[in-house]
Structure 1
């Protein structure tokens, strides 16, 4: 039993302790609370897996709650994308709820706080309020409106709600402690005037609650047992608890906020503001660009939910932040794709190979395995003919003994086909090889059972029949940034570190069966990498994205 407890992460230990101290198991309820002001990114995958993972572990409900308190930046598009991402990762929520569902209750609670002398209307600008808060090393200066009469604040707050004042003219502040060393406790703003339509409530509200006020109270309304958030909110916890104390009924469960370390992955950024800038300045094609660290971008690149969840499980739940090597994420992507991706043949830098002794008009349909890692994957037929395409890098006019691919006078086996020997070649006026001429051994056909078919040669090449070749556009994606932490360089703009070679597009050829590949289907182009069919594909233009290379030096 002790060994089992040691394996628990610190959040699970907190929950277990709460259960031991009398919390009923049926009172456990968690939530994932995204703000619908952008697409979810790699950092959110950790919060999703933690909250929904706890729901699965304890058979407890998990709410998907949209903290939609800022209509300036929130859109239905983001709501829809968040729901799609959570479902794609394999999780189901119990209730879909919104902070905007509670706007009336939050307003009524704010009125009660004014009546109790715990909130007041301040007519200062946000700049003046910030200046009066001072620094953690000196006491703040109370607002001149801090002790205004309760009835006056009530009347002004009602007029704020009715839209009688301009934006920025005044705000509602909680009366907490202007001398607190925690800056969040220095009379935080609860409401500001925003005359912007909300994506759910329309123009009903002219004032909107601040995140700190809405978040904890929403947890309380929903009776969330454990409110889990990233470390940046640790200093907000005293305010979270203070707000709850103002409204909580002692007969009801009071949520417990606890913080875990954010997930920072090398070569990725997780600032929504910076991601928005990448999109706005067209450094990428959109939120779902395969180079983006968004969940939709990773999905389009070809990452799988299982790979991401395995990665999160390996990273674990920690109290201290650190930078995670992106190669660890790519390791789990490869590990999953290796099991599920069919092996296909495609040539992305083609050179023509002519087998001179193969009959001119003959073609064969050869059998090849789909995935040696999956015994149920079966086989398929691929066409073979006199003229083929092979990778340009797989041939050298001259090479040493360590080059095990094709060279003049040398032999290789064509995958699932025959052994060939390079006899001669042709070049253009610039000295580039245009055609390789070879001979084949008819008795060396793979799987034929002849002595020649069992003959071993050191190299095996993938190939595509020129007569049957499917033209494809192949997008070779690399890391979006040239350094591991592009937003850590305080003296330089992170945009300066964008990798100019993060996307290289080439035209190649693939076996004809790829015509039937589905959007997002995991594939391995043999000896090249893992790929997936992109949504830009049409009947006339087939587009494939490289998900990840075949191998990497990373070890775990």
Structure 2
């Protein structure tokens, strides 16, 4: 089965929605949303949430919105918003509407005034340190602020002046008045507004008070008519606050929050803060470095949206945290590319071979299928000449046991061409091999010599009909399976996560390689053109994944 036709798996959220539809809840409608904070690039964990929200909506003829939670302008940017839109679209999804939490700033403020008027919110002058002390612990109740019983009139006056910019950052906050003795710390009078004089990327300097996420999110869901607000498990303890806000405000729509276990993928991290640290400290070349677990990094590495969607479906949706092996993701892309990737020959570490009995100046062309099982992918021309390159590893002067490639006096078949025999090994003054002199058997084009069985088949390229290329052998960014469990996650970095081969040679046909095509370099792995660093004179190819999983070997 290919990576693009894996069966849809049932899960508890699908069951909840099916039950709701059967009961004609929400008038038989399903409306979801994907609400990222634009403070970084999306990663593979977000891909799971994207696929879940958009797929659930599509399966039930519903809608899914893209909404930016842009309530913290200190860390957010238009660059991140644009990257998020590109990533969601690249994964193959279309949003019903695109919104921003900042679209609702006036309504959010009006709702906050309503809470104050109802006696459900108050302005507090406690410092952040004092609020932390007064919050209590899991075993001790919190302590009420001295400002908790301030009059409604005074609270309205202070909140109005907060918006007008009369107070310094941090001088006051607006808190929900719930229960300082609640066993759920999130319900101990949480802050719902704070003063921040920060330029907002969309609203400019119109606001100096900004709403908090827990307050904003539930109201945004209600305003958009969301029916099922799906989020990760760390928000389970926030659900009572989600419901409290909407109940107190009496919104016409009250979405149902449902939590699922977030993606925890071995040999990687999905913390935006830590991903930003990798970028800012130069451990990677940027958010789209092919070693990064970001969607843009995976795209640059040659991953396909079909493989990522298949991966998200395969790992399923549960309420229990668990670690997913990196091999699952790698196998999804292998299966997908095995079906779709055209083949090509590339010599990553070249060794020159001179065919001594080939006519000088003569060339010979062959048509080779681009895919052994996909004739619709066509074929390409490969040129054979007197001088070719083979891989250095495909020759051994002192071969190990069971070595089936080229050795002194031995024979090997060239992929799609002739059988050659090594006659002589040429070395420089330091004893380094610089050239092999070989003969070819003219009777072996596409077949073994009569009476002889040649077991080894190696790839090659013509010296005169190939192009120079840089090949980047990317591997897992971390050598520790769970870097987040280390005291310093940077200690788990893989020092061999990138090897750059500057003198590789690839088939001349790859001069026209497109950035949207990933190739199988025969016997080597899957590679794609790097559209960021490639030049017409020297293309750069990034390794997507090896042909086989050899990580544990």
Contact 2:26 2:227 in 1 (8 A): no
Per the alignment, residue 364 of structure 1 pairs with 364
Distance 1:25 1:114 in 2: 33
Per the alignment, residue 432 of structure 1 pairs with 432
Q: Does 1:517 align with 2:519?
A: no
Q: How far 1:400 moved relative to its partner?
A: 5.3
Q: How does 1:138-537 map to 2 (within 5 A)?
A: 138-249=140-251, 252-399=252-399, 402-446=402-446, 452=449, 456-489=453-486, 492-507=487-502, 508-535=504-531, 536-537=533-534
Q: How far 1:423 moved relative to its partner?
A: 1.0
Q: How far 1:485 moved relative to its partner?
A: 1.0
Q: Secondary structure at the match of 2:464?
A: helix
Distance 2:548 2:141 in 1: 57
Distance 1:414 1:501 in 2: 31
Q: How far 1:453 moved relative to its partner?
A: 8.7
Contact 2:9 2:316 in 1 (8 A): no
Per the alignment, residue 549 of structure 2 pairs with 552
Q: How far 1:21 moved relative to its partner?
A: 2.6
Q: In the superposition, relative to structure 1, how do residues 254 and 453 fare at CA in structure 2: closer, same or farther (>3 Å)? A: farther
Per the alignment, residue 105 of structure 1 pairs with 107
Distance 1:401 1:424 in 2: 21
Q: Secondary structure at the match of 2:376?
A: coil
Unaligned stretches of 5+ residues in structure 1: 1-5
Contact 1:26 1:60 in 2 (8 A): no
Per the alignment, residue 89 of structure 2 pairs with 87
Q: How far 1:451 moved relative to its partner?
A: 7.8
Q: In the superposition, relative to structure 1, how do residues 546 and 195 fare at CA in structure 2: closer, same or farther (>3 Å)? A: same
Contact 2:405 2:456 in 1 (8 A): yes
Distance 1:409 1:265 in 2: 49
Q: Secondary structure at the match of 1:443?
A: coil
Q: In the superposition, relative to structure 1, how do residues 53 and 261 fare at CA in structure 2: closer, same or farther (>3 Å)? A: same
Q: Secondary structure at the match of 2:375?
A: coil
Contact 2:353 2:388 in 1 (8 A): yes
Q: How does 1:35-114 map to 2 (within 5 A)?
A: 35-114=37-116
Distance 1:9 1:454 in 2: 60
Distance 1:7 1:137 in 2: 41
Q: Secondary structure at the match of 2:483?
A: coil
What TM-score does the superposition give when structure 1 sets the normalisation length?
0.95
Q: Report Cα offsets for 1:178-197 as digits up to 9, x if no partner.
A: 00010100000000001111
Per the alignment, residue 124 of structure 2 pairs with 122
Q: Report Cα offsets for 1:58-90 as digits up to 9, x if no partner.
A: 111100011111000110001100010011111
Distance 2:514 2:27 in 1: 43
Q: Report Cα offsets for 1:404-462 as digits up to 9, x if no partner.
A: 1111111111111111111110112332211111100112112xxx7849975211110
Aligned length: 543
Per the alignment, residue 3 of structure 1 pairs with none
Distance 1:498 1:542 in 2: 28
Distance 2:101 2:255 in 1: 16
Give structure 1 regions of 4+ aligned residues with deviation exceeding 6 angstroms. Answer: none
Distance 1:373 1:71 in 2: 52
Alignment RMSD (CA, Å):
1.6
Q: Comparing 367-376 with 338-347, which one deviates more in the overlay? A: 367-376
Q: Report Cα offsets for 1:259-280 as digits up to 9, x if no partner.
A: 0000010011011110111111
Q: How far 1:506 moved relative to its partner?
A: 0.6
Contact 1:480 1:499 in 2 (8 A): yes
Q: In the superposition, relative to structure 1, how do residues 112 and 499 fare at CA in structure 2: closer, same or farther (>3 Å)? A: same
Contact 2:307 2:332 in 1 (8 A): yes
Q: Comparing 80-89 with 420-429, which one deviates more in the overlay? A: 420-429
Distance 2:220 2:178 in 1: 20
Q: How does 1:10-29 map to 2 (within 5 A)?
A: 10-24=12-26, 26-29=28-31
Unaligned stretches of 5+ residues in structure 2: 1-7
Per the alignment, residue 538 of structure 2 pairs with 541
Q: Comparing 398-407 with 505-514, which one deviates more in the overlay? A: 398-407
Q: In the superposition, relative to structure 1, how do residues 530 and 34 fare at CA in structure 2: closer, same or farther (>3 Å)? A: same
Contact 2:343 2:520 in 1 (8 A): yes
Contact 1:413 1:420 in 2 (8 A): yes
Q: Comparing 428-437 with 87-96, which one deviates more in the overlay? A: 428-437
